[in-house]
Amino acid sequence: MYHHHGIQALDDNEDALKLQLKDVDLEFSWPVGKLKAVLPELGIKSASSPSSCSLETSKAIASLVEELNLADAKLGLASGISAFLWLYTSIHGDKPAKVAVTSELPLGSGLGSSAALCVALSAALLSLSDSSKLDFSHQGWQTFGESELDLVNKWAFEGEKMIHGRPSGIDNTVSTFGNIVKFRSGELTHIKTNMPLKMLVTNTKVGRNTKALVAGVSERAARHGSAMTSVFKAVDSISNEVVGIIQSPVSDDLAITEEEEKLGELMEMNQGLLQCMGVSHSTIETVIKTTLKYKLATKLTGAGGGGCVLTLLPTRILFACAILFHCLISYIVHNLYVLYHPEFLFFFSYFCLMSSKYLK
C-alpha cells in the first residue's frame, strides 16, 4: 500500500505554495512571500543536513497552520500539514509549487500513514535537490541508492518528530527501505526471507492519539518499573524469535505450517503483553475473539487503542477453496453485524476488501 506524492513546479504567475490533500478534498495555499517573512530559518538550511525544527520555527509553523482554521473534524491533519511545511521549506526553500497528496493508507490507523507521507515528501523534494542522482529521462518508478535513502530517512524522521513527539523511527525507516526490518535502539537490520507470509489487516476504524498511548506506556513503566522492564524484555525475546522464524529456510509445506504455528503463538503472546502495557481496546478484542473461533492468531499493529489489527493467514487456509473463504468472511460479518452498531459496516467493508485483496 502506497502513499503518492506529486510536486508540480508552478509557472511564474503563481507565487504560492499549494498543498492539495486529494483524499479529503482539501487544498491549502501559502503565499511564498509570507513564508519568507514568517519562517526565520528559510534558506539557511541545507538539504543534505537534516536537523530538528527549532522552537522558533515550530511556533511560526504552528501559527501558519492555525490560520487555516481547520474544521474540528480535520484537526488531526494539523500536525501532518506542519510536517509538510517544515520539510518543504527546509529542503526546497521558498519556491512556489503545487503539492498533491493521495494515500492508500488510512490515517492514524497504525499502518504508518504519517511516516509514509514524510518519506514520500522527503523523497520527492530531495529528488529535485543538487545531490540527487536520479535519471529524469527514465520512465516509471526508480529507487534511490543507499546513501540517498539514508538522507530521505533522516528528513522523514524529522517530519515524524513534528507529528508524533517521540517516535521510534521505525515507521519512517521501514517506509524508506522496505522489506522486513529488525529495529533496536536506532539500529536497523534488513531481513531477507523466503517464507511466504500472508496477513489480513483489519481496520477497527477507531481513531486514537499515538502520542498519548506512547506516553501512557511510559507512565505505567514509571509506576511499575520492575514489572514493565520484564514485559519489555519478553517482547524483545518474542521479536527475536520472529526474526529467527522468518529467516529460517523453509522447504516443504509441513515445515511452513510448523513455522506459521510458532509465529501465530508469538503474535498471541505479543498481544497479551500489549494488553499488559494497556494499549489494547475493546474493538481489537472483538476482532481477536472472532478470529479465535477459526483458530487464527491476531494482534494489534502500531500504537493500539483502536487502529489496525493483523491476523496471520496460514497457507493451509489459502490452499482451501476461495469460495469457502468468502463464506467465512460473510459469516464473520454477520456475527459482528448482529452484535454491533451499524456504523461498524464501514469496518466490515474494509475487512472484506483487504481479505479479497490478499486472496488474489
Give residues with Cβ within 8 angstroms of 88, minimum separation 6: 17, 97, 99, 121, 125
* Cα angle for residues 85, 87, 90 (degrees, 5° grid): 100
8 Å CB contact between 228 and 278: no
- When the beta carbons of 51 and 240 are compared against a second copy, the nearer one is 240
Residue 259: other Cβ atoms inside 10 A: 18
Q: How far apart are the first and last CA of the chain?
A: 15
For residue 301, the minimal CB distance to a second copy (Å) is 17
224 secondary structure, DSSP code: S
Strand residue runs (E) in the chain: 3-9, 16-21, 26-31, 97-103, 180-184, 187-191, 198-203, 298-301, 308-313
Q: Which of 23, 171, 252, 253 is catalytic?
A: 171
Residue 218 phi/psi, 5-degree rounding, is -60, -40
For residue 238, the minimal CB distance to a second copy (Å) is 5
Q: Which three cell numbers stand for residue 77?
A: 491533519
8 Å CB contact between 198 and 297: no
Residues forming contacts to a second copy in the complex (CB under 8 A) are 220, 223-224, 226-228, 230-231, 233-235, 237-238, 240-241, 262, 265-266, 268-278, 280, 282, 285, 289, 292
DSSP 328-354: HHHHHHHHHHHHS-GGGHHHHHHHHHH
- When the beta carbons of 50 and 306 are compared against a second copy, the nearer one is 306
8 Å CB contact between 163 and 83: yes
Residue 125: other Cβ atoms inside 10 A: 24
- When the beta carbons of 62 and 238 are compared against a second copy, the nearer one is 238
For residue 225, the minimal CB distance to a second copy (Å) is 8
For residue 74, the minimal CB distance to a second copy (Å) is 30
**Three-state DSSP class for residue 112:** coil
Alpha-carbon distance 334 to 348, whole Å? 10
For residue 25, the minimal CB distance to a second copy (Å) is 36
For residue 314, the minimal CB distance to a second copy (Å) is 17
11 an active-site residue? no
Task: Name the residues annotated as catalytic.
Answer: 171
